[in-house]
Copies of this chain bind each other. A is one copy, B any other.
Amino acid sequence: MQRAQTLGSGTMSEKWVSILLLLQLCCFGCGSCGKVLAWPLEFSHWINMKTILDELTQKGHRVTVLVPSVTVFIDSTDSSGLNYEVFPVSNTKEKALHTMEAFLDEMMNIAESSSHLKAMWKFHELMGEFNGRLKSICESVVFNKILMEKLQKTGYDVLISDPVFPCGDLIAEMLQIPLVNSLRFTMGNVYEKYCGFLPCPLSYVPVSPGKLTDKMSFMERVQNMLLSLLFDFWLHSFDKTLEEFYSEALGRPTTLCETMGKAEMWLIRTYWDFEFPRPYLPNFEFVGGLHCKPAKPLPEEMEKFVQSSGDHGIVVFSLGSMVKNLTDEKSNVIAAALAQIPQKVLWRYKGKKPATLGPNTKTYDWIPQNDLLGHPKTKAFITHGGTNGIYEAIYHGIPMVGVPMFADQPDNIAHMKAKGAAVEVNFNKMTTADLLNALKTVINDPSYKENAMRLSRIHHDQPVKPLDRAVFWIEFVMRHKGAKHLRPAAHDLTWYQYHSLDVIGFLLACVATVVFIVAKSCLFCCRKFGKTGKKQKRA
């Protein structure tokens, strides 16, 4: 698009240079441009990764996205300039959609009915089921000889993978191309910790998604350690199910951590505006909010509605791209709260119009969320707590009311609460008064706005923008065929060597030997001199 505009202006010779550059780019590939393969996930994960891939395309790289034929969110016919390699899987799109909706319903039911720990456990069970389905999708790629040969022949320079559901690492290993991981976190940070060797001191680094912060009471630290043990157990059981499949695909024994651990870079979708300060490694780059950008003008009708709010301003409300419907009861509880605030409310909601909907509230099938959050009249954001939405709020300095349901959402809201930029409302037990009070608090207590603005200032005050950093490191990996100089030597150690247990054991044994010899010598001397003394006394 930008290139086409360039062609429209300038002198004739400039135009010819542009045309030649374009031709070179399209037909022969530019000198420093590479071939990028992507292994994405659906929904918000895709929104985030697509931002990186679009930027890479803009910079002249040829990007190919591996998409299963049953994708429910990724539009493989878009005109973004990305290439989509759609591969067949043994399922229909309708069935996949049905499975996804059933999964979502079950997740919502868990959120509605259970305790947090129980919900997490059920979530893991569901993730286990989901992993099984993903394994079959993964098999559809790695055992598809024609596709793998085609990918091999193309000679990609890098594979960008969303490792929450592993497979990208296996494809990278089979094609022998450098791997870059792009993620918010994996359950319990197990892949980062065990495959990437990210240090996680449990005394001040909360296990994700445990809803804890970096300042924990004694019992919270106990909880954090138990959670860590639980997730470790989960990794090991999950790793075993994948081990056989990975080994079969590679034709040699392997483990999940062996392939995943080969990642050259880990691009983490947070930054220190959101994250609690913690140790990390030089091949981890925190690029949170890379999709954020300044607000564009709103559609005319929407702008009119926003302006009608006067000095009270507006509240933006969205439960994300996955949740489209709520029960009548829940939607009425919410609408009744919204009706009682002086602000105008823009609510992204596709379900039945609630009976309690006030005249100040308008529902929309879709809203330009970033543009609304960047509008000067916006006072608060009611959010399910998805990372993308939270980052848009941070970017524009908008305080939040969090209504988290599942996955990383409770954890994300816990971060924003700890930073003083959000109030949480329990989605299961929420009453109209709860939501109303939360809204009044974040709008009327100036500390929430101040804290949101503080986070915004931190976000905007970085030496390099998050998207540029993400693209820089991907290009670095392409230029240097990896980033081996950033890889910690911990990868070459066994677990007991890593924790220096052999060294500690050896030193303790040395100390014990010395103590033993000294004690024995003393005892020997005492007995000898004792006997001599007695003999002398007797004599």
Task: List residues of A whose CB falls within 8 A of some B CB.
Answer: 198-199, 201-204, 214-215, 218, 221-222, 225-226, 272-273, 276-283, 286, 457-458, 461, 463-464, 468-469, 472, 476, 479-480, 485-490, 492-493, 497-500, 502-504, 506-507
Q: Is the beta-carbon distance between B461 and A480 smaller than 8 angstroms?
A: yes
A495 to chain B, nearest CB (A): 10
**16 intermolecular pairs with C-beta atoms under 8 Å apart:** A201-B490, A203-B493, A204-B488, A204-B490, A218-B506, A222-B503, A222-B506, A225-B500, A225-B503, A277-B281, A277-B489, A278-B281, A278-B282, A279-B280, A458-B480, A463-B463
Given known contacts A277-B485, A277-B487, is B472 in contact with A463 (CB within 8 Å)? yes
Q: Is the beta-carbon distance between B203 and A201 smaller than 8 angstroms?
A: no
Q: Is the beta-carbon distance between A203 and B497 smaller than 8 angstroms?
A: yes
- A461 contact set on B, CB distance < 8 A: 476, 479-480
Query: What residue of chain B has the Cβ atom nearest to residue A461's Cβ?
Result: B476
- A215 contact set on B, CB distance < 8 A: 489, 492
A262 to chain B, nearest CB (A): 15
Q: How far is the CA of A444 from the CA of B215 in the complex (A)?
A: 57
- A198 contact set on B, CB distance < 8 A: 279
With beta carbons under 8 angstroms apart, the residue of B204, B277, B486 that contacts A486 is B277
- A498 contact set on B, CB distance < 8 A: 201, 203-204
Q: Looking at A199, A204, A225, A507, which has the most chain B CB atoms within 10 Å of its CB?
A: A204
A10 to chain B, nearest CB (A): 28
A530 to chain B, nearest CB (A): 37
Given known contacts A480-B461, A486-B277, A503-B225, is B201 in contact with A201 (CB within 8 Å)? no
A231 to chain B, nearest CB (A): 16
Q: Is the beta-carbon distance between B282 and A280 smaller than 8 angstroms?
A: yes
Q: How far is the CA of A111 from the CA of B286 in the complex (A)?
A: 44
Q: Is the beta-carbon distance between A221 and B500 smaller than 8 angstroms?
A: yes
Q: Is the beta-carbon distance between A485 and B503 smaller than 8 angstroms?
A: no
A451 to chain B, nearest CB (A): 11
Given known contacts A272-B485, A278-B488, is B218 in contact with A493 (CB within 8 Å)? no
- A463 contact set on B, CB distance < 8 A: 463-464, 468-469, 472
Query: What residue of chain B has the Cβ atom nearest to residue A468's Cβ?
Result: B463
- A204 contact set on B, CB distance < 8 A: 488-490, 493, 498
- A468 contact set on B, CB distance < 8 A: 463
Query: What residue of chain B has the Cβ atom nearest to residue A223's Cβ?
Result: B503
- A201 contact set on B, CB distance < 8 A: 199, 490, 498, 500
- A490 contact set on B, CB distance < 8 A: 201, 203-204
Query: What residue of chain B has the Cβ atom nearest to residue A215's Cβ?
Result: B489
Query: What residue of chain B has the Cβ atom nearest to residue A494's Cβ?
Result: B203
Shortest 5 CB-CB distances between A and B: which pairs? A214-B489, A204-B489, A277-B488, A279-B279, A199-B279
Query: What residue of chain B has the Cβ atom nearest to residue A490's Cβ?
Result: B204
- A502 contact set on B, CB distance < 8 A: 218, 221
Given known contacts A203-B490, A461-B479, is B277 in contact with A280 (CB within 8 Å)? no
Q: Looking at A279, A286, A476, A490, which has the most chain B CB atoms within 10 Å of its CB?
A: A279
Given contacts A201-B500, A204-B490, A278-B488, 5 further A-B contacts (CB under 8 A): A198-B279, A203-B497, A204-B493, A218-B503, A279-B280
